[in-house]
Amino acid sequence: MSFRPFKSTRIFRVAQLHAPTPLYCRQCFRPLSTTRRLLFSSQPESQPYNVTQALRGKLKQAMQAKDQPSLKTVRALLAEVTNASKTSSPVDSPTAYVKLLRKSIKASETAVAEFEAGGRKDLADAEREQIRVLEAYHDAAQVDLGEVVSEEEIKAAVKSVLQDLKQKGLEGGKAVGQAMKVLTGVEGPLAGKAVEKSELAKVVKEMAS
């Protein structure tokens, strides 16, 4: 008569087969605890978004492709990021990067109009090339980050929410917390959009006061 192992024994053996390989201490050769295992893990931690590093990558690509419009554009962006790093509003987040691109596009569009008015078609064409590069970077960033709303759109959304809360008897400082919940809630006007909460909170406080 053949012996059949208990069901619990079979489950234990299956669990052994699928169990992760344990990590051992290099000094005492004992299995590491969960906490110590994390300390010895080789998996890299997530790094904060680095605009300068991203732009340097684009600069390298432009140099390899000998793309002069892109080279000029990226160098100008790097200069803007460097100057902003010395102020209270550094370009240190994806949202700030998109805002920089939008600001640069507007500046180039203004320059095109001025150069055309002055009869400098060559300079106007150069600015148009820069706009083309900036818009390509902007579109790529929008795909990666999601829809990044403008400051005007944020203020319009905040104004609408504050008005609704005022009708419910909430205004001033009492409305700030509730406004933030409504704005960033599942069905809120800014739901799923790339908005920095610190910046949003600042706008809400200013408009609620």
What 3-state class would DSSP assign to 140? helix
Weakest-pLDDT range from 7-11, 107-111, 155-159, 183-187: 7-11
Residue 96 in domain: yes
Query: What token pair was written down for 131?
Result: 């706009």
User: What mean pLDDT do residues 73-80 have?
Assistant: 93
* Cβ-contact 141, 98 below 8 angstroms: yes
How high is the pLDDT of residue 117? Answer: 93
Domain endpoint, select from 93, 128, 145: 145
- pTM (whole model) above 0.75: no
Domain endpoint, select from 130, 145, 160: 145
Query: What token pair was written down for 40?
Result: 């010895």
Q: Cα(111)–Cα(114) distance, rounded to whole angstroms?
A: 5
Q: Say if residue 168 is in the same domain as residue 137.
A: no
Main-chain dihedrals φ then ψ at residue 24, nearest 5 degrees: -120, 150
Helices and strands (H, E) in the chain, number of each type: 9, 0
Query: What token pair was written down for 128?
Result: 């148009």
